[in-house]
């Protein structure tokens, strides 16, 4: 008796789908994750920038990473991007600058299908952050790099399948802190050219243009974080005799976030096929600062790894630094960045946070749209 067989085209498509999307419901929902941003989610791009001042390729960074060595993450272990990738069922996206190329052009890479990280320590929405960090990959340049990845995906998968793949993928955007750090730096050129409100408005309008460009290159699902209460990091607290947060920079972080939320609402009105999850990381960090004991945190002011008697925030984490024995009870790893434990808490809020913290939906809901 002859068996009914599916047509060859169906078999080929099904096999291709397994290769492309993987096995299991999570991977089918999120075939890839593309990360744009700064040092909060950089997983090693700055290792490839010879002039970059913001690097995390030396101990004691990575002391709690599975390999036990520094990877370029500004953390004692994993960062928020790593934890979010785990939650949605994809590998941590590799650094863009680590991808193989031939004669300056990207060569075919399966890694690009499951995602790429363009994030760079010191990066900003605007290009002004290079005043502080000499060399980084600005958001504009990151989007430019993504356009090359998009081109390669179209060549690998074909136009229709590439668009289907990207429409289900997540585009994670974590940026803005360095723009504000730079503006409020005492030697800032930007503060001489713009009022704080003008500068924040410029950040918002520039970001809107870049998000629209990503949409034009297939992006449909965005995960976007606001700027946290960055005035409460050790580098900002050390300038206060009592170790208080920098109120001015926190105020303008909130004003930027207000502009960002308005931008996202406008974007959804203009481009109805966009879906997004916005996380109010300002409130997330504030909650950790105000109720640290709820999360097993004992130290909210001092860096775990660093140098100097003033909150260990005079220099970054390097081999000549000292570091705390229990990283889980510190809010901050170094003078700017959270510990691995804190990053995991951020990722929890982004992925499954309540509507007070993530709206109009969290990432767990976004993947099912």
Looking at 39, 277, 321, 349, which residue is catalytic? 39
Looking at 150, 165, 330, 337, which residue is catalytic? 337
Residue 159: CB partners within 8 Å, gap ≥ 6? none
337 in catalytic set:
yes
DSSP-based three-state secondary structure for 106: strand
pLDDT in tens, 85-143: 999 999 999 999 999 875 566 666 677 899 999 999 999 999 887 767 778 999 999 99
**Given this model, what pLDDT does residue 269 score?**
97
98 in catalytic set:
no
Choose among 167, 141, 157: nearest CA to 108. 157
d(CA 56, CA 63): 12
**Given this model, what pLDDT does residue 112 score?**
87
291 in catalytic set:
no
d(CA 275, CA 295): 31
Looking at 38, 42, 179, 334, which residue is catalytic? 334
**Given this model, what pLDDT does residue 4 score?**
37
d(CA 126, CA 207): 9
* 121, 52 contact by CB (below 8 A): yes
Name the CATH topology of 29-366: Rossmann fold (3.40.50)
Query: What's phi and psi for 193, nearest 5 deg?
Result: -100, -30
Give buried/exposed letters for 10-23 (b at 16+ CB in 10 A, else e).
eeeeeeeeeebbbe
* 240, 185 contact by CB (below 8 A): no
DSSP-based three-state secondary structure for 34: strand
Give yes or no for a cis peptide into 360 (omega within 30° of 0): yes
**Given this model, what pLDDT does residue 108 score?**
62
**Given this model, what pLDDT does residue 11 score?**
29
Instruction: Count the neighbouring beta carbons within 10 Å of the beta carbon of residue 63.
Output: 19
**Given this model, what pLDDT does residue 105 score?**
67
Element (H, E) at 172: strand 170-174
């Amino acid at each position: 008796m002859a068996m009914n067989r599916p047509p060859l085209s169906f078999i080929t498509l099904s096999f291709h789908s397994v290769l492309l999307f993987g096995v299991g419901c999570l991977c089918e929902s999120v075939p890839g994750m593309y990360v744009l941003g700064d040092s909060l989610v950089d997983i090693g791009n700055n290792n490839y920038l010879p002039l970059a001042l913001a690097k995390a390729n030396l101990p004691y960074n990575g002391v709690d990473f599975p390999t036990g060595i520094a990877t370029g993450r500004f953390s004692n272990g994993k960062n928020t991007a790593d934890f979010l990738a785990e939650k949605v069922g994809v590998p941590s996206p590799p650094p863009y600058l680590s991808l193989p190329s031939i004669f300056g052009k990207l060569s075919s890479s399966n890694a690009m299908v499951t995602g790429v990280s363009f994030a760079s320590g010191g990066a900003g929405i605007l290009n002004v952050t290079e005043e502080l960090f000499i060399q980084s990959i600005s958001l504009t340049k990151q989007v430019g790099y993504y356009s090359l990845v998009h081109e390669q995906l179209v060549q690998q998968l074909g136009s229709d399948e590439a668009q289907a793949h990207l429409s289900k993928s997540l585009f994670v955007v974590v940026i803005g802190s360095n723009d504000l750090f730079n503006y409020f730096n005492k030697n800032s050129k930007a503060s001489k050219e713009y009022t704080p409100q003008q500068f924040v408005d410029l950040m918002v309008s520039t970001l809107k243009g870049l998000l629209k460009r990503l949409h034009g290159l297939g992006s449909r699902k965005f995960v976007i974080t606001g700027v946290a209460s960055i005035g409460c990091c050790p580098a900002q607290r050390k300038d206060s005799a009592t170790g208080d947060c920098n109120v001015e920079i926190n105020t303008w972080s909130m004003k930027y976030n207000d502009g960002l939320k308005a931008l996202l609402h406008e974007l959804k009105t203009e481009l109805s096929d966009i879906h997004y999850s916005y996380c109010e990381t300002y409130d997330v960090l504030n909650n950790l600062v105000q109720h640290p004991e709820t999360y097993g945190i004992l130290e909210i002011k001092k860096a775990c790894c660093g140098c100097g008697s003033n909150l260990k925030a005079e220099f970054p984490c390097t081999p000549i630094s000292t570091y705390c024995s229990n990283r889980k009870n510190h809010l901050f790893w170094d003078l700017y960045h959270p510990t691995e434990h804190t990053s995991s808490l951020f990722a929890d809020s982004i992925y499954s946070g309540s509507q007070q913290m993530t709206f109009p939906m969290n990432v767990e809901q976004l993947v099912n749209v």
